[in-house]
Structure formats: structure tokens, C-alpha cells
Amino acid sequence: MDAMVLATQKWLNHTYGGDIRYNPVEENGKTGWPTIYALTRALQIELGILSTADNFGPTSRELYGKNPLRRVDGLHSNKFAILQGALWCKGYDPGHYASENPYGYVSDVFDESVEYAVKLLKMDAGLNDFTGTVTTNLMAALLSMDQFRLLSDYGGDSNIRVFQQEMNRKYEDYIGLMPCDGIYGRNTNIALIYALQAEEGLPTDVANDNFGPSTQTHCPTIPYNGDEVDYDGKSYGYSQILQFTKILKFGLYVNGFGNGVFTGTLMSDVVTAFQNHHALPATGIADLDTWMSVMISCGNPERKGTACDTRFEITNEALSTLKANNYQYVGRYLTGGDFKVIRPGELQRIFAGGLSVFPIYQTYGMDADYFTGSQGVADALMAEEAAKNYGVPSGTTIYFAADFDALDYDITYNILPYFESVCATLQSYRVGIYGTRNVCSRVSNACNITTSFVSDMSTGYSGNLGFPMPDNWAFDQIDNLYLYHEDNSLEIDNDICSGRDHGFNTVEFNKGYKPAPSVEDLPSNGNVLINESDFEIPVYEKTIPSQNHTGGITAGGEKVGLILPHDIYSRENEKSNFTFYSVLFYDKNSNSVKKGYIETAVGTGVMHPWKDQQMLFYISTGIDDGTRSTERIEGKTCSIFSTRCELDRLNTNGVKIATIPAATRLGTDGAPSCGKGNPNFMYVEYLYDEKLGKWVGAGGREYLSTGGYVDHPAWIDIGYQHGASPTERAIL
């Protein structure tokens, strides 16, 4: 706890606590965003802003800029107290302490000692302005969490800090004031693009943080060949090229290439090493593609890749399109629903066309909560089983996806435990990772990760901005595009290939594994259930006359398999005077879906102990107690579920009418149940539309509506290919 930060918090709450424009801050003596937000709103109140916010935005900048704070001896002002509080939070001592007043608050003067603290901050920020005036940019920097001293304990680099200070001196009109902590992150990466644009002569109202067409057009080749010109159409002079070279050398350094000396001429061997690492033509000349790979994660998104990944089946038409566009590798999904997974015969088709496949595992994985150690175990087992079912050869790398902008604490507390479990559990295959640069690097360094598949086309992700390319990258995803050939088109993600992973181009079925078969239909009305008992339920091949019920029929003959505890299965509704169910179940011993019969009674009125422990399908894991969340929808209490993977919506004729994305919330006034006697389909009553921000539906249990199909019965395919064990289900 910092005593002066605590004094600041107490003063803020005492002074502004009765103003509805202010949000009280916890008085804990800790510097953090809540205190910064409180200081920001306090200053906005003093500026007369009626609608305050947590950020120091355009209105705040405009009003503050009309009368920036400066030293005035003998004057007391709340603005001065806000300034002192902000200085304390930044780690600068303005020379006044809580013990000086009876309330233990921050002081409200701007005298010589406060002015000295302001000047120290300006010096640390690299400015040549030695006055004590708190400029608009300086106030904006104070009302942030940016640091201006070297953070060596957090990996701060003194060479990086020197260049950060220089950018503040030279390009403040473009970048404001960036942190000078020696850490190359998002703000420094953005500032570097602005610095390039400033040297190109782009006006401040044209420059932005995008490496767009204007920036590309005026970006000079180094060594300069005279072909490129500045924004005004003039060739670059020697001194300008030296400054471009300095920017480029800094960019190479933060990407892991160079010695930290940014002055002087460009060393071609450094450029060549960078180009080799990024799979660029190794010329030693910094052309546009090299500049863009230095400055933005995806590099030049128009580069032609030899690899791609897609959620679409590679049909004969798609294969011809890939071959016509010179692709050699295609990433396809082991799981994720019928819409995106590898289809029967697809691999053989791809291999016959001369292409190889790199397998991807993703069911959901688009937020931190998904990633746990136990989920890693479940996913590794499912990936192993799916890969063997498809005949993926042992030793192939499977890329497990962390498909979101994970922050450092997400990686530490969620993603790392997940991948540790995956690596410990996966037996026959190598573990790869799909994610941002930061995710791939940190996980690869901590776990036994073979290669990385980098999601670089998400250029705005904090896990990509300011992070170098992982050393073990195999595929670099740089753009989403459509390929065309003759009358065919195919949507893909364009990937650059490093040559570290060649995927696989043949199938290898180990003993006991074969491709998953199709699912048969039950003959009449039925339900999808879960065996919640601790018993293994034997399944028999046929029905036979019952010995315990006169004229009755029961299950008998050869045993074809077992319904294990916590497995799902489909069953026909029980009929009067019958003592059996007709069922479909997934038999893991034979890796097939089988049809058979289960006996329900052992005698008149004497049921098997498991019979009353068969529940409608709704539990997400074997350790779940079955508790479901509920919401009131249209006056009814509905159970809430969500999809783990992308699912097709089908009409009653089995025709696809739409796609339900992963993590879609579903609502029904009972457990989702099988419809029309077909065990492969489930229906629910409502679907939550994220765009509309509300539940939508047709009002009948045989309808699932997103607004456009209210007149069509719709179903959710829960085919057994989505898994029969608790951790492999399509619906949670």
C-alpha cells in the first residue's frame, strides 16, 4: 500500500463523492485503473463536463488545452490536487505529504516542488521541453497506466527505452506521449507506424495506426533506389533515408534481430536473417514486404501463401481451385460439428490431388474460461480418438486452438494449465498450438510444443501487437480471402508456410480403428438420454418372448455392447406390455454406432436399478450435478443450454436452412428432446440472437427460429460424430 495513493483516494471520495458524475474508488492505497478513472472523472468535473467518462477523450483534451496547468504560487485548486494525485500514482514525488493537513489528504498547490516533479516526468518521457507546464499530452499520459521509467524487472530494455524517448521528442504531434518503460508493446508498435508516416510526410490528420495504401506507397526501399517519393511527391534525401533506416533498425531489433544500435547504415545480413525467419525472399534488401513484416503481425496480407486452412469440405471443385492457385497444404478440423470437420473420403481426395493436410483441433476455445487442466485432458483424448478415426499417422502434429486475444494472465492461469494437460495426455501425436504470437511463444517455451500456427491476421490483437514471431512457427495465418478457378470459389485463410511442418499425405489406420460410420434412425418416437446410473447397461441384438411376462416381449439374444455410465444414447419410447427399449448407442470397442435392445424389467413390477436414472440429455460433464441455469422467456421458466461447436439447423426434411455458431445460447421449457422419432435431431424452443440482444423463437417446441425461418420446423443435429462421452458433447 502507498500512503500517498491512499491520501489521493480519500481526497477524491471526500471531494466528489456526492457528485453523480463521479464513481467512488476503493481506498486501498493501490495504484491501478480504478484510481486513474477516478482522477479522470474528477478533472472532467472541474472542467465543467456534464457527462463524464473513464477516458481522457477529445472533449477533455479540448477543454483542458484552453488553460493547461502551470505553477501558480499561493493558489489552492482542486485541479492542483488532481495533478499531485496523478504524479503520486506515476511514482513522482511532488513534495507535499498527507501529514501536512489534518485530514490526511493530498495537497492542492502547484509550487516549485510540484513543478520539479513535472519536469522530471518530462525528462523521463524524452522531451526537450524543460518548462513546468502540464501540456495536454502530458496530462493525458498522467491519466493512464503508462510508465516512463525503465521497468527492468518486467523485461524492460534500455535500448528500447532510448528509442521510445526519441519518438516522443520527434513525433509528439503524431503519437502524443508514449510510455518509456523499455517494453515493446502495443503503444510502441503503433507509435512506430506513426513515426514512419511522419517521415513519409503524411499530415497529422492523414496519418493513422494502419499500414495502409498511402503508407505503403511512400515507404522507401532500403538501400534507397529512388523509386519511392514522399507524400508531396519529392524524392527522399540522405538525411531522411538515415531516419527511415533508424526506424527500420529499431523495428528489426524489437523483432529479435540487430544489436540495439539504431544509427548508421543498414546491415544486409541482419535483414537477410529476418527475411529467412519470416519466410521472405532472402535478398538483404528491405523492400515493402520486409517493412510490413517488421511493422505489423500479418506482414503484407497480399503475399501468396502455399498453405491455407478452411472450414469448408475440400470437394473436387475446391481441390481444383487450390491446385490452380498453387496451394500445397490445407488445414482441416478434426472436430467442431458437421459443417467444418473432415468429411468421409475427403482426405483421400486431397491426397490424390497431391496436397497434404495439417490437422486442427477446436470445439470452442474462444474465451479464457474454456481453458482448464481438466478440459485439456478431455480435449487431448477426443483429439486422439478423432485423429485415429480419420487415420492420421502417429507423430503428426495436431494444432489445438486458443482462438481469442488472450492477455498474459489468461495465459498464465488458463491456457498454460490446459496445454500442460494436453501435452501430458496426448500419446500418439505431437502437440501444436494455434493462437496469437504471445500465446504461441509463452506456451511453446513452457510446454513440449512442436510447432506453432500463428493467428497473425488478427493484427489488432494485443497478443500480436509488439510481439516477435515465435521461433517454432510452422504456419502464419495472414488473411481471409476467396480463391477462384473457372466457375468455382473457395473461402480460405491464407497461410505462409515456414517448412517446419509438412502435415500428412497418407492415412494409417491402427488396429481397432476405422472411420466413424453413419447413424441409423429409430423407427418411431424417441428421446436422447444420458445414463446417469453407475451401471453398465447391456444391449442385445434382438427381442425375444419374455419369460417373466405372459405374452410379453423383452431384449435377448447375443449381447452387442454396453451403454456405459454417463454415455448418451437414443431410445424408442416404451410401449405398454413391452419390457424393452429399442436403442442406438455408440460402442467404443468397435468404434461404431450400433442398434439394439435393452431389457427394462427382471420380473413383473421389478425394474432394473438403472431404469429411473436415465435422464434427458442436458449434462455437460460427468462431474456435473445436473443443475441447469434458467431464465424467464415469454413468461415461461426455460432451461438454458449452449452449443459447444458449430451445428447445422435442418428442417423436417433434413435440409440445412442455417448454421448455429458455437457458444449460441439455447432455451427450452424442458430438457431438449428428440423430435419426430429421429434420434439424430433435437429441438428447442428459443435461440438467443446476439445481434438483436434478445431471445427469439416461434413459440412452439418444434421450432427453432432466428427470425428468418419462423414458418419452418428446425432441428439441431447432435449426431454421434460429436461424441458420446460427457466431455465430447455438442450441446452443454
520 within a domain of the structure (yes/no): no
Rounded alpha-carbon distances, angstroms, from residue 391 to 313, 324, 345, 508, 594: 17, 27, 11, 5, 21
Span of 131-145, 390-404, 541-555 with lowest mean pLDDT: 541-555
User: Coil, strand or helix: which one is 494?
Assistant: strand
Domain encompassing residue 83: 3-145
Residues 16 and 112 in one domain: yes
481 within a domain of the structure (yes/no): yes
Residues 128 and 170 in one domain: no
| Cα–Cα distance, 404 to 221 (Å, whole number) | 35
Mean pLDDT over 550-554 rounds to 69
pLDDT band per the 50, 70, 90 thresholds, residue 465: confident
Closest Cα to residue 179, out of 145, 146, 149, 141?
Answer: 146
User: Coil, strand or helix: which one is 69?
Assistant: strand
What is the pLDDT, as a whole number, of residue 706? 31
Q: Is the pLDDT of residue 698 over 60?
A: no
- Residue pair 170/240 in contact (Cβ under 8 Å)? The answer is no
What is the pLDDT, as a whole number, of residue 389? 83
| Cα–Cα distance, 257 to 493 (Å, whole number) | 28
pLDDT band per the 50, 70, 90 thresholds, residue 548: low
What is the pLDDT, as a whole number, of residue 721? 42
pLDDT band per the 50, 70, 90 thresholds, residue 410: very high
301 within a domain of the structure (yes/no): no
Residues 21 and 62 in one domain: yes
- Residue pair 674/365 in contact (Cβ under 8 Å)? The answer is no
| Cα–Cα distance, 185 to 467 (Å, whole number) | 7
Q: Is the pLDDT of residue 296 over 70?
A: yes
Q: What is the pLDDT of residues 436-448, one digit of tens each?
A: 999 999 999 999 8
| Cα–Cα distance, 219 to 303 (Å, whole number) | 17
- Residue pair 410/376 in contact (Cβ under 8 Å)? The answer is no
Q: Are strands 452-454 and 430-435 parallel, antiparallel or unpaired?
A: parallel
Kindly state the percentage of the chain with pLDDT values over 70. 83
- Residue pair 631/640 in contact (Cβ under 8 Å)? The answer is yes
Count of positions (residues) in the chain: 732
Of 479, 497, 515, the residue at which a domain comes to its end is 497
Measured in degrees and rounded to the nearest 5, phi and psi for residue 562 equal -130, 140
Q: Is the pLDDT of residue 86 over 50?
A: yes
- Residue pair 205/231 in contact (Cβ under 8 Å)? The answer is no
Of 295, 315, 332, the residue at which a domain comes to its end is 295
694 within a domain of the structure (yes/no): yes
What is the pLDDT, as a whole number, of residue 99? 81
516 within a domain of the structure (yes/no): no
Structure pTM? 0.68
- Residue pair 437/464 in contact (Cβ under 8 Å)? The answer is yes
What is the pLDDT, as a whole number, of residue 252? 95
341 within a domain of the structure (yes/no): yes
Residues 338 and 461 in one domain: yes
* Better-predicted residue by pLDDT, 516 or 328: 328
What is the pLDDT, as a whole number, of residue 713? 38
Residue 426: CATH number of its domain:
3.20.20.80
* Maximal CA-CA distance, the chain: 107
Q: How many domains does the chain have?
A: 5
| Cα–Cα distance, 209 to 465 (Å, whole number) | 12
DSSP secondary structure code for residue 152 in this structure = G
Mean pLDDT over 483-492 rounds to 91
User: Coil, strand or helix: which one is 52?
Assistant: coil
Q: Is the pLDDT of residue 673 over 70?
A: no
Angle at 167 between CA 56 and CA 33, to 5 degrees: 30
Residues 691 and 645 in one domain: yes
Closest Cα to residue 183, out of 467, 412, 435, 443?
Answer: 467
Residues 32 and 117 in one domain: yes
Span of 328-332, 416-420, 521-525, 550-554 with lowest mean pLDDT: 521-525
The answer for residues whose C-beta is within 8 angstroms of residue 357's C-beta and 6 or more apart is 329, 330, 331, 332, 347, 350, 351, 503, 504, 505
* Better-predicted residue by pLDDT, 486 or 196: 196
Residues 638 and 605 in one domain: no
Q: What is the pLDDT of residues 165-224, one digit of tens each?
A: 999 999 999 999 999 999 998 889 999 999 999 999 999 999 998 999 999 999 999 999
Count of CB atoms within 10 A of residue 582's CB? 22
Q: Is the pLDDT of residue 164 over 80?
A: yes
What is the pLDDT, as a whole number, of residue 608? 85
Residues 114 and 203 in one domain: no
Of 110, 145, 180, the residue at which a domain comes to its end is 145
DSSP secondary structure code for residue 368 in this structure = G
Q: Are strands 397-401 and 430-435 parallel, antiparallel or unpaired?
A: parallel
The answer for residues whose C-beta is within 8 angstroms of residue 551's C-beta and 6 or more apart is 577
Closest Cα to residue 86, out of 33, 34, 142, 24?
Answer: 142
Mean pLDDT over 322-334 rounds to 96
Kindly state the percentage of the chain with pLDDT values over 90. 60
Burial degree of 565 (CB within 10 A; 0-12, 13-18, 19+): middle
Q: What is the pLDDT of residues 587-638, one digit of tens each?
A: 777 666 778 889 888 776 688 888 888 876 543 332 233 445 677 887 777 7
- Residue pair 519/718 in contact (Cβ under 8 Å)? The answer is no
DSSP secondary structure code for residue 211 in this structure = -
pLDDT band per the 50, 70, 90 thresholds, residue 516: very low
Residues 281 and 316 in one domain: no
Residues 414 and 435 in one domain: yes
What is the pLDDT, as a whole number, of residue 156? 93
What is the pLDDT, as a whole number, of residue 683? 59
| Cα–Cα distance, 56 to 62 (Å, whole number) | 10
What is the pLDDT, as a whole number, of residue 585? 80
pLDDT band per the 50, 70, 90 thresholds, residue 686: confident
H or E segment and range at residue 599: strand 592-599
Q: Are strands 647-650 and 636-642 parallel, antiparallel or unpaired?
A: unpaired
Closest Cα to residue 536, out of 493, 498, 566?
Answer: 566
Mean of the per-residue pLDDT values for the chain?
84
Residues 344 and 290 in one domain: no
What is the pLDDT, as a whole number, of residue 480? 94
300 within a domain of the structure (yes/no): no
Residues 538 and 608 in one domain: yes
573 within a domain of the structure (yes/no): yes
* Better-predicted residue by pLDDT, 697 or 553: 553
What is the pLDDT, as a whole number, of residue 79? 97
- Residue pair 369/732 in contact (Cβ under 8 Å)? The answer is no
